C-alpha cells in the first residue's frame, strides 16, 4: 500500500504529453536570401532559362550555366505539401573549382539598386 502513491505518480507521468521539440529554421546561406523560399517560376524570372531542369522524386534541380559560374538550385516541396521552393544552392566555376553560391548568384544576377 505504501507504494501506491509512487505507482500512481509514475502512471500519471507516463500519460503526460510533451510538445514536440521546436526545430529552429536556419538562416539562408550568405548571399542566397533572394533565392531561398521562392518557386521555380520566380527563379527563372530572376536568372533566366535554366540550362538543365532535372526532377528526381519530389526534388527538382535547376542548373544555370553562365560565363562566370555554374549555379545549381535545389527545390523541394514543403513537408505539408504544395509547390516546391528553393532550399539550397551549390556553385562552381566553369573549370570546376569552388565558388561560394552567394557570390555566384551576385555575379549572374546582380541585386537591383531599388
Q: If phi over 0 gives left and psi between -120 and 50 gives alpha, with beta otherwise, what is residue 77?
A: beta
* pLDDT, tens only, 70-84: 999 999 999 999 999
* pLDDT, tens only, 5-38: 555 555 555 555 555 555 455 666 678 999 999 9
Which of 75, 92, 93 is CA-nearest to residue 84? 75
* pLDDT, tens only, 39-54: 999 999 999 999 999 9
Take residue 73 and report the three cell numbers written for it: 538550385
Domain regions of the chain by residue span? 28-108
pLDDT at 76: 97
The whole-model pTM stands at: 0.73
Amino acid at each position: 500500500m505504501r507504494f501506491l502513491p509512487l505507482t500512481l505518480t509514475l502512471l500519471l507521468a507516463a500519460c503526460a504529453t510533451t510538445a514536440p521539440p521546436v526545430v529552429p529554421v536556419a538562416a539562408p546561406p550568405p548571399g542566397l536570401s533572394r533565392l531561398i523560399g521562392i518557386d521555380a517560376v520566380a527563379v527563372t524570372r530572376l536568372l533566366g532559362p535554366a540550362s538543365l531542369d532535372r526532377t528526381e522524386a519530389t526534388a527538382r534541380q535547376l542548373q544555370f550555366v553562365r560565363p562566370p559560374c555554374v549555379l545549381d538550385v535545389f527545390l523541394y516541396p514543403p513537408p505539408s505539401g504544395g509547390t516546391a521552393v528553393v532550399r539550397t544552392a551549390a556553385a562552381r566555376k566553369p573549370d570546376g573549382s569552388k565558388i561560394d553560391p552567394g557570390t555566384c548568384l551576385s555575379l549572374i544576377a546582380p541585386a537591383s539598386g531599388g
